[in-house]
Amino acid sequence: MLHAQGFVCNANYQKENLYCDVCPEDWPLIVQFCANDPKVFVQAALLAQNYCDAIDLNLGCPQMIAKRGHYGAFLQDEWNLLQRTILLAHKKLSVPVICKICVFPEIDKTEQKGPLSGAAFWEHIKAVWKAVAIPVFANGNIQSLQDVEHCIQDMGVQGVTSTEGNLDNPALFEGRSPAVWKLAKEYLDIMWEHPCPLSYIRAHLFKLWHHTLHVHQQL
């Protein structure tokens, strides 16, 4: 997720996050922005669209940083603002526009925030899929490849994404669950081949080891 205002104003931010070498395995590539101003979002998207396959507006982030910045799930009640944002993006961009959303407590309203993260409500996702004429991707409760298959079969959606599950086990979509030390070794080998900031490495290793270190606290 990139900050739209920062991307528009900071050339170094652009270079570090998108205007840099990517390996073929990174494609197809979707660039996600957080934004609360239609013009700023579209301006950032126009700068990014030649470097990706689609632009995503994040309306799903439930974290406190999103609340402080007034973006993510905390924009979902502002329907007029969101409509103006998406219509402007649809008009100006040459790549598809995607919105990642969180559910409302009411299933009918979801078809149209839940600021708290937790288990996904697949019935809400199914209701969205039935209510719209555009592709719908499901997200949530995906911890294995079997979950992916069940989600597509039960919901009828066009695709499935994973956030926390994929961070815990990057081999999820290959149907593998290797020991965390093997995943960490594989990740570090890739890191040496494709260097990245230390903060990224630290964050990924933290996610890989988090559950294991809760059990093996002596480590």
Catalytic annotation present for 61: yes
Residue 111: which pLDDT band, with cuts at 50, 70 and 90?
low
Q: What's the chain's length in residues?
A: 219
Average pLDDT, the chain: 89
pLDDT above 90 as % of the chain: 61
Tokens representing 22 are 């990517």
46 has pLDDT over 60: yes
Which of 26-47 are b and which e, b meaning 16 or more Cβ less than 10 Å from the residue's Cβ?
eeeeebbbbbbbbebbbbbbeb
Residue 114: which pLDDT band, with cuts at 50, 70 and 90?
very low
Mean pLDDT of the region 15-32? 87
**3-class secondary-structure state, position 139:** strand
Tokens representing 99 are 């919105």
Please give the pLDDT value at position 119: 62
Mean pLDDT of the region 90-112? 82
Mean pLDDT of the region 54-82? 91
**Maximum Cα–Cα distance across the chain:** 56
Which of 133, 150, 131 shows the shortest CA–CA distance to 142?
A: 150
Spatial distance between the Cα atoms of 60 and 42, rounded to a whole number of angstroms: 18
Marked catalytic residue, from 34, 52, 61, 151: 61
pTM tops 0.85:
no
At 200, the amino acid letter reads: Y
Mean pLDDT of the region 37-60? 96
115 has pLDDT over 50: no
Please give the pLDDT value at position 197: 85
Class of domain 1-117: alpha beta
Please give the pLDDT value at position 175: 94
Q: Which region among 60-64, 82-86, 91-95, 130-134 has the lowest average model confidence (pLDDT)?
A: 60-64
215 has pLDDT over 80: yes
- Who has greater pLDDT, 107 or 38? 38
Query: Residue 199 class from Cβ within 10 Å (0-12 exposed, 13-18 middle, 19+ buried)?
Result: exposed
Residue 60: which pLDDT band, with cuts at 50, 70 and 90?
confident
